[in-house]
Amino acid sequence: MATTMQSANSIPQWQTLWLNVNLATMTEAGSDYGVVKQAALAISDGKIVWLGKEVDLPTYNKSGTEVIDGQGKWLTPGLIDCHTHLVYGGNRANEFEMRLQGKSYQEIAESGGGIVSTVKATREATEVELLSSALPRLKALHLQGVTTVEIKSGYGLDLENEIKMLNVAGELAKQLPITVKRTFLGAHALPIAYKDDAAGYIDLVCNEMIPIVAEQKLADTVDVFCENIGFDIKQTERVFTAAKAHGLDIKVHAEQLSNLGGTELAAKYQALSSDHVEFLPEQGIKAMSATDMTAVLLPGAFYFLRETQLPPIDLLRKHNVPMAIATDANPGSSPICSIQLMLNMACTLFRLTPAEALAGVTCNAAKALGLCKTKGQLTVGRDADIAVWNITQPAELCYQFGVNPLSALIQNGKQVI
């Protein structure tokens, strides 16, 4: 009798059970997508509670479990876009057109183009206006299987407008069933008012903005545009020091157009990631490897700017640096809100394998955001953020572009698409 009771108690009751599916678990230990074919996956309380071969399924309480026939579809972790600037005012289509009409950068700058125009439009926009312009961009990502997105500030460049951007990013998470990670990028560009006083602006970022961002929990990570057209190494280090002093994580835009050593510096401060990295030398890659940093590759910006310097993929592989892929969605250098296009471009432009590209928008993207314990893989105990695909093999996600194979999307255990 006691035995029967015990076995009755141990029969699990799940909220949802997917049967007849194939899994690309994207577990770090597994090679080739961590595939489990003819599988089942169970969800309860927003978490994955069981997964494996369907033949190994334990006895479960059938009356209380919603069972879904997955019809042989593929389940992957919900996709993660770990680098975006998708909250901004206006757009730069006019500038794009001027460039194609043969106007020089000088002429475009003189007519008020470049990042200055986005800063102006962002400052002039209300929170409601910023929200309504960002929402379709976020929705586009969501419809392609994205369940987590990182959104940076960086077009306000003063306290009030940086806060406004971060508030809008927070509000977006209430408008759509999507997890939003917010990053403070006050050190994105020099505002016109500080044109000849970069040190003064860095003072403002470090002494006023970062403390308030931390105190009001407006972001949990601080980013810097460390570049010959951005902030130098000394200025970047000051921002890192201030961020760390306030308990915030750091990441960096580095080695996109030149090699300033921003990645190595970021490694010294245990950054989560270095992003772009086209000009990163082996020394910097070794530093990343030693501190377990992720390299975030942004093929959309490479494509849109018609860059020719490829990121050092072979060296990143050689030193086992995890590679993430993101849209870099922004109005100037990557006006692209398609994570599926990034999967394709990571393979076609950067020559990643489809398995590497998919890892780039799942497990490695989670790592780049400091979320690798909860997201980015299909394993027991992780958040049930799952994309269901109408495909015959995982490589199809990278191979074909323009036909959206998303069949369903689950966020925190709830089917949201």
Closest separation in Å from C-beta 328 to Zn ion:
5
> 273 or 344, CB closer to Zn ion?
273
Q: What's the rounded Cα separation, in Å, for the pair 133 and 124?
A: 13
Closest separation in Å from C-beta 102 to Zn ion:
27
Closest separation in Å from C-beta 253 to Zn ion:
5
Closest separation in Å from C-beta 350 to Zn ion:
16
Token pair listed for 43: 């969800």
Q: Which of the ranges 2-10, 36-44, 281-289, 326-334 carries the binding residues for Zn ion, by CB under 5 A?
A: 326-334
Which residue number places its CB atom closest to Zn ion? 328
The terminus-to-terminus CA distance of the chain in angstroms comes to 45
Closest separation in Å from C-beta 403 to Zn ion:
28
Of the candidates 257, 225, 246, which has an alpha carbon nearest to the alpha carbon of residue 153?
A: 225
> 81 or 383, CB closer to Zn ion?
81
- Is residue 326 within 8 Å of 82, Cβ to Cβ? yes
Q: Which of the ranges 7-15, 89-97, 322-330, 336-344 carries the binding residues for Zn ion, by CB under 5 A?
A: 322-330
> 24 or 296, CB closer to Zn ion?
296
Q: Which of the ranges 20-28, 237-245, 321-329, 400-408 carries the binding residues for Zn ion, by CB under 5 A?
A: 321-329
> 36 or 345, CB closer to Zn ion?
345
81 binds Zn ion, rule: CB under 5 A: no
Closest separation in Å from C-beta 416 to Zn ion:
27
- Is residue 416 within 8 Å of 46, Cβ to Cβ? no
328 binds Zn ion, rule: CB under 5 A: yes
> 25 or 334, CB closer to Zn ion?
334
Closest separation in Å from C-beta 298 to Zn ion:
7
Q: What's the rounded Cα separation, in Å, for the pair 142 and 415?
A: 13
Count residues binding Zn ion (CB under 5 A).
1
> 300 or 394, CB closer to Zn ion?
300
Q: Is 234 exposed, middle or buried (0-12, 13-18, 19+ CB in 10 A)?
A: exposed
> 278 or 328, CB closer to Zn ion?
328
Q: Is 35 exposed, middle or buried (0-12, 13-18, 19+ CB in 10 A)?
A: middle
- Chain contacts with Zn ion (rule: CB under 5 A): 328
